[in-house]
Amino acid sequence: MPVVIAALNKWPSSIRSLLKPKKVEQMEFQDFIAQGDKVLVFGHYKGRVKSTGRSYTKDFIHVVTLRDNKVIKFREYVASDDMYDAFAGK
Q: Where are the domains of the chain?
A: 2-88
The pTM of the whole model exceeds 0.85: no
Q: Kind and range of the H or E element at 89?
A: none
Output the CATH code of domain 2-88: 3.10.450.50
State residue 21's pLDDT score.
Answer: 62
Confidence at 1, pLDDT banded by 50, 70, 90: very low
Q: In what order do the strands lie in the sheet with 70-77?
A: 22-35, 38-49, 55-67, 70-77
